[in-house]
């Protein structure tokens, strides 16, 4: 039985939803340092598996993709989260599918299907109800950083879908190149933002860091970009709303209680995954019709 690329890609945001718990247990390691370690560690791991380096124009293409999908995205995401809180940042992230639909309309003239647009709007409202609380705060720099992270990731997904892979190269290799470039760009940012070299992880933190690198980054992004290549950036981006839903369900499992609005947000997110009804086939004028069968 062959699993759908979208179903496999959905494993990525599910694992990202668990990374919030992991990052809390990696303290005092700073978030930008954790981002640099997970991107660079995952990239080097995949690079050791594929043993392929970029050639020709793919040096700058992979560098640009790495900067958008990891370097700029991770860096601005953590700046936004530190100034706005996770709730507002997650809501801004839910704007990603709408940005991709808007770009396709303006640049390519592709009008979004009603169901796709409805799913994107339901996901946005659902995430907002799920994670926004009365203590949500707005900050100009935080909003700019959060919006920049969404624009960077959306642009990166569109370019990844448009460029595909170079001849004779696996998608895993392109993923490895992006992660390595993104991790390298994050290293100086981490040194500045987190105040120098971090302390070594404790014995209990090493397995958590390994999970973040192997499962939450290397495997997750390999499935994510595979989904983009085999379906479309729009369809895959709609899956991002699974990440905050997973994080909240983990809170529920740990004994936290959800309010009525949060349950409503979960319901809207679940509703946004309902597939559209397939239209009934209408008989073609002039086509022969089946003869009714008489009883007996």
pLDDT tens sequence across 163-187 = 999 998 999 999 999 999 999 999 9
- Buried b vs exposed e over 167-189: b needs ≥16 C-beta within 10 Å? eebebbbbbbbbbbbbbbbbbeb
Q: How confident is the model at residue 29 (pLDDT cuts 50, 70, 90)?
A: confident
> The whole model's pTM is what?
0.81
pLDDT at 58: 95
pLDDT at 296: 43
pLDDT tens sequence across 209-236 = 999 999 999 999 999 999 998 988 888 8
pLDDT at 281: 46
Query: By C-alpha distance, which of 147, 129, 149 is closest to 138?
Result: 147
- The span from the CA of 175 to the CA of 219, in Å, is 10
pLDDT at 97: 83
For residue 230, give both structure tokens. Answer: 């085999």
Q: How far is CA 200 from CA 181, 216, 228, in A?
A: 23, 20, 36
- The span from the CA of 263 to the CA of 189, in Å, is 38
The answer on pLDDT for 69 being more than 50 is yes
The answer on pLDDT for 99 being more than 80 is yes
Judge contact between 162 and 229, C-beta under 8 A: no
Q: How confident is the model at residue 89 (pLDDT cuts 50, 70, 90)?
A: low
- The span from the CA of 161 to the CA of 184, in Å, is 23
- The span from the CA of 31 to the CA of 207, in Å, is 17
pLDDT at 3: 74
For residues 244 and 62, which has the higher predicted lDDT (pLDDT)?
Answer: 62
The answer on pLDDT for 286 being more than 70 is no
Q: How confident is the model at residue 42 (pLDDT cuts 50, 70, 90)?
A: very high
> Average pLDDT, stretch 247-252?
75
């Amino acid at each position: 039985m062959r699993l759908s690329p979208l179903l496999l890609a959905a494993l990525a945001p599910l694992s990202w939803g668990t990374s919030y718990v992991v990052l809390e247990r990696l303290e005092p390691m700073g978030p930008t340092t954790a981002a640099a370690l997970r991107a660079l560690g995952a990239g080097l791991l995949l690079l050791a598996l594929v043993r392929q380096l970029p050639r020709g124009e793919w040096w700058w293409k992979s560098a640009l993709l790495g900067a958008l999908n990891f370097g700029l995205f991770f860096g601005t995401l953590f700046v936004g989260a530190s100034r706005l809180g996770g709730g507002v940042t997650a809501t801004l992230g839910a704007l990603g599918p709408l940005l991709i639909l808007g770009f396709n309309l303006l640049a390519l003239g592709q009008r979004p299907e009603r169901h796709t647009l409805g799913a994107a709007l339901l996901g946005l409202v659902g995430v907002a109800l799920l994670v926004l609380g009365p203590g949500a705060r707005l900050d100009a720099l935080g909003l700019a950083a959060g919006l920049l992270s969404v624009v960077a990731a959306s642009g990166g997904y569109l370019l990844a879908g448009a460029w595909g892979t170079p001849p004779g190269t696996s998608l895993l290799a392109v993923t490895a190149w992006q992660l390595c470039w993104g991790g390298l760009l994050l290293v100086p940012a981490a040194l500045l933002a987190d105040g120098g070299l971090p302390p070594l992880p404790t014995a209990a933190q090493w397995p958590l860091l390994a999970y973040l690198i192997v499962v939450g980054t290397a495997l997750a992004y390999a499935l994510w970009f595979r989904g983009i290549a085999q379906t479309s950036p729009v369809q895959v981006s709609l899956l991002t709303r699974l990440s905050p839903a997973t994080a909240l369900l983990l809170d529920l499992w740990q004994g936290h209680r959800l309010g009525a609005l949060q349950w409503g947000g979960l319901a809207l997110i679940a509703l946004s995954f309902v597939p559209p009804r397939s239209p009934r086939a209408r008989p073609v004028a002039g086509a022969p019709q089946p003869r009714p069968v008489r009883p007996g």
